[in-house]
Amino acid sequence: MTITAPAVTTTTAVRRDPTRNNARAAGIFYLLTFASSIPALILLGPVLNDAAYVTGAGHDTRILWGCLLDCVNGLTAVGSAVAVYAVVKRQNGSMALGFVTSRLVEAAVVMIGVVNLLAVVTMRQHPAGADPASLTVTANALVDVRNWTFLFGPGLMPVFNALLFGTLLYKSRLVPRIIPAVGLIGAPLLFAAFIAALFGATDQVSASSLFLTLPIAAWEFTIGLWMTFKGFRPQAVAALGIRNDG
C-alpha cells in the first residue's frame, strides 16, 4: 500500500504597503482642495465683485458657504503635507519640514481672507445705523485685504509647495518622475504670474494668469489622483528604508 503524504499548502502572505494610508490620505486631501476652492470662488462672487454689496439686500448664505469651503481648502492643504511627512522625511528631513511649513503658511493666509469676508457679512447684517458710505469704504477695504491674501496664499505658496514636494518626489521616485516634473516646471510660471499681478501688469483672475497657473493645477490634481488610487512605488518605498512592521 502506498501512503501519499498530505500536500502541504503554502500560503504566501501579501505584504501590506506601509505607506499606503499616508499616500491615500494625502491624495484625498489634494483632491479636496480642488473640490472646495473652485466652488468657493464662485460662491464668493457677489462680495468680491459688487462694491455696494455691504449696503445691498439679500441673503448671505452663499457667502457663508464660500467661506466654509475656503476653510476646508486651508485645512486640507495642511493635511496633505502632514500625511506624507513621515514618508518624504526619509528623503530629506529639512525639505519635508519646509513643505509642512509652507502649507501651514498658505492655510493661515487663507484664513485671514476668510475672516475679512465674514466681517463684511456681519457689517451687512448689522449696520447699526452706520453711514452707507462709511460701510462701503470699510467693506471694500476688507475685500481688498482678502484679495491680497488670495494672491499671497493660493497665488504664491503653491510655488514653494511644488518646489519642495516636487523635488522630494522626483529624487525619491515615489511616483513617476513626469508628475513632479510638471510641478517643478509650473512653479516658476506661477511665480511669474504672481509677480505680474503684484505689480499690476495683469489681474489675479485673467487669461494670462490662468495660462501660467495651469501647470501647477495639473501637477496638484495629478499627484492627488495618483496618491489616492495608486500610492507610492514599492521599490522607492523600500529604498527609503520604510518597512512594514505590521
pLDDT value at 10 more than 60: no
- Which is more confidently placed, 128 or 132? 132
User: pLDDT by residue (tens digit) across 148-164?
Assistant: 999 999 999 999 999 99
| Percent helix, percent strand, percent coil in the chain, to nearest 5 | 75, 0, 25
- The DSSP H or E segment spanning 113 is helix 93-125
CB atoms within 10 A of CB 166: 24
Alpha-carbon separation of residue 32 from 21, 74, 144, 147, 222 (angstroms): 16, 10, 26, 22, 13
Neighbours of 164 (CB within 10 A): 25
User: DSSP per residue over 8-30, as a string?
Assistant: PPPP-PPPPPTTHHHHHHHHHHH
User: Quick one: pLDDT at residue 126?
Assistant: 81
